[in-house]
Structure 1
Amino acid sequence: MRTMTTGLLAAGLLALALPAQAETTKVSPRKTLEQVANELSAKGYTIREIEMDDGHFEAKIVDAKNVVSEAKIDSYTGEILRLERED
């Protein structure tokens, strides 16, 4: 009986320690619309429209060759996930 109680106590302490460890993992915050716009401008794009939609940014942008595209942008990294040329 004592072995069983010790085992349950150890399991309980381990269960309490795991959530505390998970809380220390830091998630980077989402970028602001202004930050994403500045990053796109720094890459040479002109921004016609930009908005947050379903957790990511969508922007209508124009590149240096005057090609208009629709971009889907990760809201945490600012990375362009999809770029579709508009006709």
Structure 2
Amino acid sequence: MTTAFLAAFDALPLGSFTGSCAGRRYVVTRSDFSGGAAQKLVAEELGGADYISLNLYRLASGARLKPCEMPEAKVVDFVLNLRAD
């Protein structure tokens, strides 16, 4: 887990918002649970089929990223390049 990824994730607004990544538009929801120890991000491409889903756990031993049925590289790239409106 890179510092850049965590900084980009933390910069995203909580709740639902729209944004763009790689020329595509998305509706994104970022949620915090357990006082921020568990976080979730879900993004659906507007007018397309792309879907991003991940869980991020902030543990005493460090952050753990758990993508939902997709490669870790896909969710990392998405978060690093997502620009909220």
Same fold (TM over 0.5): no
Category of TM-score, reference length = shorter chain: 0.3 to 0.5
**Greater RCO, CA 8 A, separation 6+:** 2
Q: Which has the higher helix share?
A: 1
Q: Highest Rg: 1 or 2?
A: 1
TM-score by length of 2: 0.33
